[in-house]
Structure 1
Amino acid sequence: MHFLSEGEFEPFEVPEFSKEKQQQLIEKITNVVWPNELEKDYGWTLGAPSWAVKSLVKEWQTFEWEESRVEMAQWHHYRMKIEGLLIHYVHERSSNPHAVPIVLLHGWPSTFYEFHKIINPLRDGLHGNQAFHVIAPSLPGFGFSDAPTEKGYGVAKMASTINALMVNLGYDKYMYHGGDWGGIIGKWIATRHNDHCKAYHTNLPMVLPPMPTPRNLIFYPFKVLKFFSSLVLGFDNVYGVGKTILGGATFANAERNRDCGYRSIQGTKPYTLAYGLSDSPVGLLGWMLEKYHDWTFHPAERQDTEALPETIAPKEFLTQVSLYWLTNTMSSSIRIYYECLHQNEMIKVVLPRVKIPVAVCAFAHDISRMPKDWLETSTDLQQYNEMISGGHFPALEEPEMLIEDLQQFGRRIKQQNKHF
């Protein structure tokens, strides 16, 4: 057996389900103890309703992992040793000599598979537009990456790992895209590793409003005044309806944000939650489904009556769920919430101004949206686009929109730096 040294990598094959694991899954999802519910249907206000979970459990019973495995096997997979952990990643080099290196980083509850619709188009320069060398890692403790065995793997440590991956691959300069934790980790990389990360693209910006700092008072006095006016008149009245959605403003206070209960328990007692999510595939599916329903775009008339939006096929969702189940990584993936909360990292993410070029794509039903004013005072904002649909998982929901946005920004960055 060959043991990798720090920075070395080896090919990786997407595994098959063992017969034992497959049989265990089928047994568990065909002999379910369903929870007690109220007689009246209250939609999704109490969480994922059983009718929605049951419909997807039924599909899971005939789900073919092999089809998803074959799709994933089309790409080049590797694992690299970084600080003692084997970090999994997809690495698809473009044949285009003008390709820009880009790392695509997922969040929770997601995996590298979130990008399965955009890897090839970005690599190949869809429609003759900007091409990329595409790197799509699995975060430590997610999917096919090793899980940390000790405390400390919060945002800063994750950011250091992803930056080391890119540098070890020979990409001294690279572009970055991420949402959810991928966006948060990306903000850290954009401000602390910008000797290598030269452009930051996200659908989940984490910035301060226009506070009365000396810089803002000199360059953006009207934006500062506008912000303080919004505190009196309301965000919607000053910035426009729906332009300001601060879904992550409180990390674990359910009295202020009724949608942050999952963050509260994952950030404080992840071990206790992990028993149910690790032993019950139905519990795992239900926990994930709530987010894939609530954080995605649904037409108003179907908001309460469909489990998944039309833009995400059940097979795509079940592939994500199966990745967590196959690798038993739900318990390790949720610990990033604990690490971030206990290291007080969120304020450290939000505070610094991003000095490298930034692009933000604001999708209609993402969990957080910030006014363009805020982005302009806190970043070197060079591209901002508002989307009429889509939500928290744009690579799954609206891949064409995301591809076009990334290509537009990539082309801009390439024009600014011919040696990128």
Structure 2
Amino acid sequence: MKTVKNLLVSTIIAGTFLVQGTTGYAQTGTPAEVQSNEVIRPFKVYIPQKEITDLKRRIAATRWPDHETVADRSQGAQLEKLQELVNYWGKGYDWRKAEEKLNALPQFTTTIDGVNIHFIHVRSPYKNALPLIISHGWPGSVFELLKIIGPLTNPTAFGGRAEDAFDVVIPSLPGYGFSGKPTEAGWGPERIARAWDVLMKRLGYTLYAAQGGDWGAVITEAMGRQAPAGLAGIHLNLPATIPVEVDAALTTGSPAPAGLSGKELDVFNALSKYRKTGAAAYNVIMTARPQAIGYGLTDSPAGLAAWLLIHPGFSQWTYDDDSDKYPTKDEVLDDFTLYWLTNSSTSAARLYWENAGRGPISATAQKTTEIKLPVAITVFPEDVYRAPETWARRAYPNLTYFHEVDKGGHFAAWEQPQLFTEELRAAFKQLR
């Protein structure tokens, strides 16, 4: 059989290719379409049962460390809580339900710059809907954005108006989930940003907006700097707004610069504490040696779960199904299982290395003053960084919308989908 870059063509059934990656099979179109770089191919997820059986076997064989010596998460994921979650993962969690969620939506793949890109594309039933590309980050995935698809594309069913409608495009980042894994260095935020413009143009959109949080924000800011024809504006949660003098003080451990307002000083102190407690070491390790950390994440489901759970975005997750504020246990395991079954934890982690340690929330590092397009920002109170409006206005010359909401955290679309949707409606209203 011939190989297609990033995929192994294994079988032809009923005129379609079943494309085998490292983990499973997905319908992707005819043989000629698979080998065409610009064709958009329908995609369905199906993971062979042997892969799910192997996951459960590995969970059952987990070798656990001894108990932490503190009563909080300061040393990492707590043993008893992690054991309970991982035990449920092995005995109670059902991946097939996650497949059903994805396969209920229109999914596609297309090849851009040599890498196969998986994406969800849902068109609104309302004409004049604003096309919107939304980018996830680490350790998230398309799963964290599923709850906002309905409210964005069909607003009248969720308290909105027909004129609030969006066409929604949600790609898996290169190296993440069902997208292909880059086989060469160079797939950083700038290159992904260019690929996203190619994707939107390939879908026939001549005018569109972009949104992102976490790495998605870095990619969306890169799109804003590049300002491709047709990109009308961007919305960010976790924007890059830290001024150069503040960033320098944080980096060197110096006192806060003079002249900060009370709110700015509170943010400075919170960031300083964040760095001093070691939480920032997560970013350092991922940036310095993603391949090294990847060996453990690839071999042990429990190790993968433990590592993902110490990400600051999960710092307040409750490990159970009782809260209406955070993703449920099953929703979190949808995300973890996607990383496992696609064997993408290492390829995804390389995005940290590709960004070369450039601060994702540093205005200078992300060259925010070069963004001339309209920029909208929503600040969620439980995110790892809560940007003051004064810093945001310094960072973005054309800041057209800024709003601090009263609930939600790092995975805002996952945690507060209705509020997140309302923010996007308000932020992009001026672009219609």
Using structure 2 for the length normalisation, give the TM-score.
Answer: 0.82
Residue in structure 1 matching 2:130, options 93, 100, 122: 100
Is 1:404 the counterpart of 2:422? The answer is: yes
Residues 1:69 and 1:184: Cα distance change in structure 2 (over 3 Å)? same
Q: Partner of 1:337: helix, strand, or coil? A: helix
C-alpha deviation, 1:8, in angstroms: 1.8
Q: Give the Cα–Cα distance (whole angstroms) in 1 for the partners of residues 277 and 373 of structure 2.
A: 32
C-alpha deviation, 1:340, in angstroms: 0.7
Residue in structure 2 matching 1:127, options 150, 156, 159: 159
1:258 maps to amino acid:
G
- Structure 2: gaps of 5 or more residues: 1-30, 246-254
Q: Partner of 1:359: helix, strand, or coil? A: strand
Q: Give the Cα–Cα distance (whole angstroms) in 1 for the partners of residues 314 and 376 of structure 2.
A: 21
- Match in the other structure for 2:351: 336
Structure 1 residues 19-418: aligned runs within 5 Å: 19-38=49-68, 40-61=69-90, 62-125=92-155, 126-129=158-161, 130-207=164-241, 209=243, 231-232=257-258, 234=260, 237=262, 239=264, 241-242=266-267, 246=271, 258-291=278-311, 294-296=312-314, 298=316, 306-307=318-319, 310=323, 311-341=326-356, 347-379=364-396, 380-414=398-432
Q: Residue 227 of structure 2 contacts residue 373 of structure 2 at CA under 8 Å; is this kept in 1?
A: no
Question: After TM superposition, which residue ranges in structure 1, 4 or more long, deviate above 6 angstroms?
Answer: 342-346
C-alpha deviation, 1:177, in angstroms: 1.0
C-alpha deviation, 1:64, in angstroms: 0.9
2:205 maps to amino acid:
Y
Q: Residue 53 of structure 1 contacts residue 289 of structure 1 at CA under 8 Å; is this kept in 2?
A: no
Q: Give the Cα–Cα distance (whole angstroms) in 1 for the partners of residues 301 and 60 of structure 2.
A: 11
C-alpha deviation, 1:297, in angstroms: 7.7
Q: Give the Cα–Cα distance (whole angstroms) in 2 for the partners of residues 369 and 381 of structure 1.
A: 16
- Structure 1: gaps of 5 or more residues: 212-228, 415-420
Q: Give the Cα–Cα distance (whole angstroms) in 2 for the partners of residues 190 and 178 of structure 1.
A: 11
Listed one character per residue, the Cα deviations across residues 91-128 of structure 1 (whole Å, up to 9, x for unaligned) are 00011012100011100001111111101110112323
Listed one character per residue, the Cα deviations across residues 173-208 of structure 1 (whole Å, up to 9, x for unaligned) are 211111000001100101113423211111111135
192-201 vs 149-158, which moves further = 192-201
Listed one character per residue, the Cα deviations across residues 45-73 of structure 1 (whole Å, up to 9, x for unaligned) are 01111122112112212211111111111
RMSD after superposition: 2.5
2:319 maps to amino acid:
A
Residues 1:55 and 1:234: Cα distance change in structure 2 (over 3 Å)? farther
2:296 maps to amino acid:
G
Matched pairs, number: 381
Q: Residue 9 of structure 1 contacts residue 78 of structure 1 at CA under 8 Å; is this kept in 2?
A: yes
42-51 vs 141-150, which moves further = 42-51
Q: Partner of 2:120: helix, strand, or coil? A: strand
Q: Give the Cα–Cα distance (whole angstroms) in 2 for the partners of residues 132 and 82 of structure 1.
A: 24
Q: Give the Cα–Cα distance (whole angstroms) in 2 for the partners of residues 163 and 393 of structure 1.
A: 24
Listed one character per residue, the Cα deviations across residues 394-415 of structure 1 (whole Å, up to 9, x for unaligned) are 011111110100111232221x
Residues 1:168 and 1:244: Cα distance change in structure 2 (over 3 Å)? farther
Residues 1:26 and 1:19: Cα distance change in structure 2 (over 3 Å)? same
- Match in the other structure for 1:6: 37
1:231 maps to amino acid:
P
State, as a whole percentage, how many aligned pairs show the same letter. Answer: 30
Listed one character per residue, the Cα deviations across residues 233-291 of structure 1 (whole Å, up to 9, x for unaligned) are 555x25474488548x9xxxx97562122222221111111111001011111111222
C-alpha deviation, 1:354, in angstroms: 2.3
Q: Which has the higher contact order (CA 8 A, sep 6+)?
A: 1
- Match in the other structure for 1:225: none
1:161 maps to amino acid:
A
Q: Give the Cα–Cα distance (whole angstroms) in 2 for the partners of residues 117 and 268 of structure 1.
A: 34
Q: Give the Cα–Cα distance (whole angstroms) in 1 for the partners of residues 169 and 84 of structure 2.
A: 34
1:170 maps to amino acid:
G
Q: Give the Cα–Cα distance (whole angstroms) in 1 for the partners of residues 134 and 275 of structure 2.
A: 34
1:174 maps to amino acid:
Y
Q: Residue 225 of structure 2 contacts residue 368 of structure 2 at CA under 8 Å; is this kept in 1?
A: no
Q: Residue 130 of structure 2 contacts residue 165 of structure 2 at CA under 8 Å; is this kept in 1?
A: yes
Residues 1:44 and 1:350: Cα distance change in structure 2 (over 3 Å)? farther
Listed one character per residue, the Cα deviations across residues 20-68 of structure 1 (whole Å, up to 9, x for unaligned) are 1111111111121101234x43311011111221121122122111111
Residues 1:331 and 1:296: Cα distance change in structure 2 (over 3 Å)? closer
Q: Give the Cα–Cα distance (whole angstroms) in 1 for the partners of residues 376 and 368 of structure 2.
A: 18
